[in-house]
Chains A and B, each alone.
Chain A
Amino acid sequence: MNALKSREAILALAILALLAAIASRFPAFVAPANLVRVLNDTSPLILLAMGQMIVIMTKCIDLSIAANLALCGMIAALMNGAGVPLPLILVAVIAIGGALGAVNGLLVWKLGIPSIVVTLGTMTIFRGSIFLLTGGAWINAHQMSEGFKALPRAMLLGLPVMTWIMLALVAAIGLMMTRTPLGRAFLAVGGNPHAAVYAGISVGRTQFAAFVLAGALAGLVGYLWVARYAVAYVDIAGGFELDVVAACVIGGIAIAGGAGTVAGAVMGALFLGIVKNALPVVGISPFWQMAISGAAILAAIAFNASRRTPGRIILKPSEVTP
């Protein structure tokens, strides 16, 4: 526990150091209004990282998360075009996102297919489905209603609604992880699946739940994304699933499952978000951005690996007796 806490402290320090370095060359970046903008900009990444975090904790991975987002975003735009009221659209994208996650979860649970294979397949299927829905056409700003586009950008107590949604869901997921049997099950299943089975926790069902949650979050972000950027097409958020995984890894979510915290994932996403927002401002080319993101991921993994204390060597019974 102490190691985890200090890992998050170190990550927080790294974020502060990053901000300080940027501020030394471009002080306007750390102005409160700009930081709010960066936070808002990073909200989709944080929300998706919440879902991915849960999936990774259970020893799985969801590569279809960005394709799910794109499909749900397109569905939201199409529903809006058909005149469906916004609250209904919100309910629908969350339900559809969850259902798409459930497909992943069922394949992993019932057929025992490795999640990386399942979600690689569904990722392509989801993208393809967008094409089937629209024939590859774009839905642009003028085809969307004002109310549809306004919600994420509306200001409430000084913060955009999208940021409020992010904060509320992060708090809810934090509560779930620490205070509900399901949150405990995610950690137990990832930490020791055999022991979880013995304790009456179904590994498959828990992984299924993780995929459904991640899918529902992706569905919601799909609407937020399309409404905020006021455009929907086949390739929105293309490759974003890798950013999400990167955010989790930087945030100290153990890729082997069983360890990680909400705070870590949030900070991992923030770190990436700041890098992406700051580098163009400071005048560094996009190619360097990618290299810096990549270096941050490797540094985080190297750091996690070096911190892995073996603890006390516990007797391995199988090696002692014949």
Chain B
Amino acid sequence: MQADHRPQDGAAPVLSLRGIVKSFPGVRALDGVQLDLYPGQVTALIGENGAGKSTIVKVLTGIYQPDEGQILVDGQPATFPTAQAAGRAGVTAIHQETVLFDELTVAENIFIGHAPRNRWGLIDRRAMRDRVGAILRDIGSDLSPTARLRDLGIASRHMVAIARALSIDARVVIMDEPTAALSHKEIQELYALVETLKRQNKAILFISHKFDEIFRIADRWTVFRDGQFVGQGLMRDATEAGLVQMMVGRAVDQIYPKRPARIGEPILTVAGYCHPTEFEDITFTLRQGEILGFYGLVGAGRSELMQALFGITRPSKGACKIDGKVRVIRSTAEAVDAGIVYVPEDRGRQGAVKGLPIFQNVTLPSLQRTGRGGFLRLAEEFALAREYTQRLDLRAASLDQDVGLLSGGNQQKVVIAKWLATRPRVIILDEPTKGIDIGSKAAVHDFMSELAAEGLSIIMVSSEIPEVLGMSDRVIVMREGRIAAECSGREMTPENLVRAAAGIGLTKGEAA
């Protein structure tokens, strides 16, 4: 089942990638991957969060330029320097959040950028309407070409995106988790549509986390792991266990500095937390000195739950107790006051205030404490900032330096220092080491261990299995807004996490 490069039925790939490398500062997102897409076949691209799936889509659609490697169209080397170039080569993508224009009609959305012109050079509305009608009939859709997009549901938007792909004579259609937001019935319609595309001899790249739909719809599979190519083959030869094995099958090559901490009394108890759209019926307990990992696929509702705990959003139902006392958290200020802090995943947007110096970033939530009589005391601020940035081993010329000039890892340290300076009981770390270099990762892990040993309770949201398993005392797996599994001790295996996150079901005890 490994490394099946030969087309089984004599067909040659429309599009092939060979040895693609794409690096970002501190991260090698793609490390020599390959991919083959065949006409009239669906190739499923499978991999965990961080495997490089979205990066490869951006390479295929001309948004990213690979550092190394070859793109072959019909066996001939090609480059996609722009999105337009990829479009001309017949590659089109239907994104997770489909990019369309709300205020335009279905027809205008389908033909934006390549509308048929009349002899005066103006848009030929009749030709456009006719061609849209034909395309929509082809895919069996009853959408009106003149409907405004803002009035359509998600499934209809997908239809429009697919119609758009057909309108530019796409040869390769990329579907990036197309069913993530669809109902059961809409998913069935999508499957029918994929069959239509197959009959029209399009090559389809289907990215999905859901094994049932991969087995239902795909002809071939390709597995990526940590930006590397693991293998490819035909679906009819594949087994679920084999694919899971390939997705996670790695030695935990990093040593995690997790020290056994004395786990004490429950600090935080969350009971029946619900949110109208993001999560449902979340109940868990966090004890003193414990590191509780939250694993799940992107979009499983982990960050949304954490934002509710931190008062960014409010739960529609449920209660939260801290130290046995019920606390109602309606704002971030109340959360900080209750002793909960949240280090967000998106440092650029939610973490650091670029333009402000390091020390002012650190003291931003603590100004009540460092100030006196309504005035700030800069000396106190510097002292507080120095204390916590030193503990985190921050590398900066001076605390007066603009945070925007620091590296990603050091920015993360400033954000963590900011929250530790509020002296919390519970600290929520959302993807604490995402996108930072190995050295800074180790420092963050070391520090987490130290904090837990000091009796701080930590919730760590992470999509990296080795990190979750290496650092957590206990792991909660979320799936589609619910708690899918809770693992501790010997149940904490990569296979169990992946299975629970993908909805396959737990195996108890020893796993391969």
**B364–A317 touching, CB < 8 Å:** no
- A195-B350, A195-B352, A322-B298 given; A188·B402 CB < 8 A: no
- The stretch of A43-51, A177-185, A288-296 in contact with B is A177-185
- A195-B353, A321-B50 given; A200·B402 CB < 8 A: no
- The stretch of A74-82, A100-108, A266-274, A306-314 in contact with B is A306-314
- A314-B408, A315-B408 given; A195·B351 CB < 8 A: yes
Residues of A within 8 A of B434 (CB): 317, 320-321
Residues of A within 8 A of B353 (CB): 187-188, 191-192, 195-196, 258
Nearest B residue to A192 by beta-carbon distance?
B353
A-side interface residues, number (CB < 8 Å): 34
**A322–B51 touching, CB < 8 Å:** yes
Shortest beta-carbon distance, A255 to chain B, in Å? 14
Shortest beta-carbon distance, B429 to chain A, in Å? 13
- The stretch of B5-13, B264-272, B369-377 in contact with A is B369-377
Residues of B within 8 A of A6 (CB): none
- A201-B364, A321-B49, A322-B49 given; A315·B374 CB < 8 A: no
**A180–B376 touching, CB < 8 Å:** yes
**A1–B357 touching, CB < 8 Å:** yes
Residues of A within 8 A of B509 (CB): none
Q: Does B78 contact A (CB under 8 A)?
A: no
**A314–B463 touching, CB < 8 Å:** no
Alpha-carbon distance A317/B360, docked complex (angstroms): 24
Alpha-carbon distance A316/B364, docked complex (angstroms): 23
Residues of B within 8 A of A192 (CB): 349, 352-354
Q: How many A-B residue pairs have CB under 8 A?
A: 134
Question: Given A181, A198, A258, which contacts B344 in the complex, CB threshold below 8 Å?
Answer: A198
Residues of A within 8 A of B411 (CB): 314
Q: CB-CB contacts of A225-265 with B at 8 A, as 1s and 0s?
A: 00000000000000000000000000000000011000000
Residues of A within 8 A of B335 (CB): 200
Nearest A residue to B331 by beta-carbon distance?
A200
Residues of B within 8 A of A200 (CB): 331-333, 335-336, 365
**A312–B26 touching, CB < 8 Å:** no
Q: Does B225 contact A (CB under 8 A)?
A: no
Alpha-carbon distance A258/B403, docked complex (angstroms): 14
Nearest B residue to A189 by beta-carbon distance?
B353
Residues of A within 8 A of B298 (CB): 322
- The stretch of B32-40, B52-60, B147-155 in contact with A is B52-60
Q: Does B4 contact A (CB under 8 A)?
A: no
Residues of A within 8 A of B371 (CB): 180-181
Residues of A within 8 A of B55 (CB): 319-320, 322
Q: Does A197 contact B (CB under 8 A)?
A: yes
Shortest beta-carbon distance, A217 to chain B, in Å? 20
Shortest beta-carbon distance, B388 to chain A, in Å? 15
**B332–A197 touching, CB < 8 Å:** yes
**B405–A198 touching, CB < 8 Å:** no
Q: Does B508 contact A (CB under 8 A)?
A: no
Shortest beta-carbon distance, A57 to chain B, in Å? 11
Q: CB-CB contacts of B359-400 with A at 8 A, as 1s and 0s?
A: 010001101100100111010000000000000000000001
Nearest A residue to B431 by beta-carbon distance?
A317
Question: Given A1, A313, A316, which contacts B402 in the complex, CB threshold below 8 Å?
Answer: A1
Residues of A within 8 A of B431 (CB): 317
**A181–B349 touching, CB < 8 Å:** no
Nearest B residue to A313 by beta-carbon distance?
B25
Question: Given A198, A201, A202, A322, which contacts B53 in the complex, CB threshold below 8 Å?
Answer: A322
**A195–B349 touching, CB < 8 Å:** yes
Q: Does A111 contact B (CB under 8 A)?
A: no
- A184-B364, A200-B332, A321-B54 given; A314·B407 CB < 8 A: yes
**A311–B405 touching, CB < 8 Å:** yes
Q: Does A156 contact B (CB under 8 A)?
A: no
Residues of A within 8 A of B332 (CB): 197-200
Shortest beta-carbon distance, A110 to chain B, in Å? 16
Q: Does A24 contact B (CB under 8 A)?
A: no
Residues of B within 8 A of A316 (CB): 24, 348, 435
Shortest beta-carbon distance, B228 to chain A, in Å? 14
Q: CB-CB contacts of A184-224 with B at 8 A, as 1s and 0s?
A: 10011001101111111110000000000000000000000
Which B residues between 67 and 113 are near A, CB-CB below 8 angstroms? none
Q: Does A285 contact B (CB under 8 A)?
A: no
Q: Does B443 contact A (CB under 8 A)?
A: no
Residues of B within 8 A of A194 (CB): 346, 349-350
Alpha-carbon distance A198/B298, docked complex (angstroms): 21
Nearest B residue to A190 by beta-carbon distance?
B355
With most chain A CB atoms within 10 A of its CB, the pick from B26, B64, B435, B436 is: B435
Shortest beta-carbon distance, A32 to chain B, in Å? 35
Nearest A residue to B335 by beta-carbon distance?
A200
Alpha-carbon distance A190/B346, docked complex (angstroms): 18
**B50–A322 touching, CB < 8 Å:** yes
**A321–B435 touching, CB < 8 Å:** yes
Alpha-carbon distance A199/B49, docked complex (angstroms): 29
Question: Given B25, B345, B367, B463, which contacts A184 in the complex, CB threshold below 8 Å?
Answer: B367
Alpha-carbon distance A178/B360, docked complex (angstroms): 11
Shortest beta-carbon distance, A131 to chain B, in Å? 38
- A200-B333, A314-B411 given; A181·B368 CB < 8 A: yes
Question: Which positions in B face A, CB cutoff 8 Å?
Answer: 24-27, 29, 47, 49-55, 58, 64, 207, 298, 310, 312, 331-333, 335-336, 342, 344-357, 360, 364-365, 367-368, 371, 374-376, 378, 400-402, 404-408, 411, 418, 431, 434-436, 463
- Contacts beyond the supplied A179-B378, A192-B349, A317-B348: 9 A-B pairs with Cβ under 8 Å: A188-B356, A191-B355, A194-B350, A199-B364, A200-B332, A311-B402, A314-B25, A320-B435, A322-B52
Question: Which positions in A face B, CB cutoff 8 Å?
Answer: 1, 178-181, 183-184, 187-188, 191-192, 194-202, 258-259, 311-322
Q: What are 14 pairs between A and B in contact, CB < 8 Å?
A: A1-B401, A179-B376, A181-B368, A192-B352, A194-B346, A198-B351, A258-B353, A312-B406, A316-B24, A319-B24, A319-B55, A321-B49, A321-B50, A322-B53
Would you list the 10 A-B pairs with minimal beta carbon distance, nearest first?
Answer: A322-B54, A200-B333, A317-B435, A199-B364, A191-B353, A192-B353, A322-B53, A181-B367, A199-B365, A321-B50
